[in-house]
Amino acid sequence: MAEAQLPGDGESSPLTSKPRQSLPPPHEAVDVVGGVRRERRRFPIFGYHSFVRLWAAQAISSLGDWIGLFAVLALAARLGKSSPQTAIGVVMIARMIPGFFLASFGGVLVDRWSRKRVMVTCDIGRGMVMASLPFLHTVWELFLASLLLEILSLLWTPAKEASVPNLVPKEQLTTANSLSLVAAYGTFPLAGVISAVLFKVAEWASHHYSGLHFLNLNKESVAIYADVASFFVSAALISTLTLQRPQPEKKREGRIDLSATIKDLREGWGFIAHSPVVRAVLLGLGTGLIGGGMVVPLGPTFSSKVLHGGDAGFTLLLTAMGTGVAIGVLGLSAVQRRVPKERLFPWAVLGAGGALIAGAAMSSLALALVFVGAMGIFAGGVYVMGFTLVQENVSDEIRGRVFATLYTIVRLCLVIALTVGPFLALAFDNVSPGSVTVGAVTVQLSGVRLTLWLGGVIIIGAGLLAERVLRGHEIRA
């Protein structure tokens, strides 16, 4: 059998639209790390041992991240004393700021440095920063720590995403991204249960083990220490990987040239401007999130005032959304080889927008759950296909910059949705006639319903734009 071609072999340019094939097809794969012939199996993705270790590291650190987030928010509320909401807001702002100003530069560094070294260093750094949190005394100290945590995460995430295509063949990228989505968000419910247990353990330990006072044991610190452990385990797993270094940047190893960094940054943006597929993904994911993200702040109001379901209704809506995402991800993974992703991606975006409009039109909780679940199915497909298209159409030398830009745009659009949505709902309440009667049917036109409809229209607009860009790409091809 011929040896698998490793990333960096052959000719390639940073502006090449198609990456090199880094691994052989699943039925003839050889594990890159050990060089051991892989046997056929029902789930071939698990035959790529390096990817499995990277995925396990992501799942463990994501679980720790969610546990840590619960603990950090509880810590912020305690340090905020009389203004817990303000303290929590300050911490969340610290999580948002770096992405707007540093993510693109982080992508340049990821494309220049050893990605394995970046991920291991960031995991160790995040673990050390988290370990300091139980000893902080002010909200502003927590703000600075959160800022540093986010900066390290901005380096870790694009390094991980850019590494995946070098660990599995093109045919398995859809499944790999589906598993990554499960690792990132499927661990959230488990983290909630573990956090509750750890809070109880902390209360018990603080009363029965006075010798552990030097650890500042309280309900937050035990959860924080669990997060610290998850980062160190992740670093240990990633340290066992063999990841190829992006080739063109070896000559600049060990130093940061500002002019070269700016040049690399411009090169990344230039590639995005000239790549129809990447532009379509950014339009679909980014702009679509402006519409879909409005569901988060408006969901409780929609559940209580429109569906009359209260907090329990909102929980059911979130459950329906999560279940839909899981179905979409698993379904797409099952048919990945028969799915023309470039054609299906914009239609999945359109489907998500249509489902949101239909769900917002419902006055019955049961019917709303059906359409919200459908929106989740489409949204899961959009996420997986979008990330897979970027990985398939971006060369290894520039992939970190493109993913950093993608995360920046997604973050910006989500913040717009979270902040603008409630204000739009209030504005619509002030100008809405209250209801409209069509024949024998009276439709309530509350501000929250009108805003969700607007969100659906925005998603549909994003899907149409993405479809137009990709159709033009097919015509030229």
pLDDT surpasses 90 at 56: yes
Task: Identify the CA nearest to 124 among candidates 99, 155, 81, 97.
Answer: 155
Alpha-carbon distance values, 256 to 125, 261, 366 (Å): 20, 7, 57
Task: Identify the CA nearest to 303 among candidates 320, 287, 285, 323.
Answer: 320
pTM of the model: 0.69
User: pLDDT band for position 344 (50/70/90)?
Assistant: confident
DSSP 104-152: HHHHHHHHHS-HHHHHHHHHHHHHHHHHHGGG--SHHHHHHHHHHHHHH
| Res 203: pLDDT | 74
pLDDT surpasses 70 at 255: no
- Taking the C-alpha atoms of residue 82 and residue 405, their distance in angstroms, rounded to an integer, is 38
The more confidently predicted of residues 407 and 389 is 389
Region of 144 (left: φ > 0; alpha: ψ -120 to 50; beta: rest) is: alpha
Number of continuous H segments (helices) and E segments (strands) in the chain:
17, 2
Task: Identify the CA nearest to 342 among candidates 187, 468, 435, 217.
Answer: 468
Q: Lowest-pLDDT range, 67-81, 123-137, 220-234, 362-376?
A: 67-81
- Taking the C-alpha atoms of residue 477 and residue 307, their distance in angstroms, rounded to an integer, is 48
Report yes or no: 291 and 417 within 8 Å, Cβ to Cβ.
yes
- Token pair 């929250």 is found at 448
- Taking the C-alpha atoms of residue 195 and residue 453, their distance in angstroms, rounded to an integer, is 36
The architecture (CATH level 2) of 44-241 comes to: Up-down Bundle (1.20)
| Res 264: pLDDT | 57
* Segments making up each domain of the chain, as ranges: 44-241, 265-476
| Res 292: pLDDT | 77
The architecture (CATH level 2) of 265-476 comes to: Up-down Bundle (1.20)
pLDDT surpasses 50 at 19: no
Q: Lowest-pLDDT range, 196-205, 209-218, 361-370?
A: 209-218
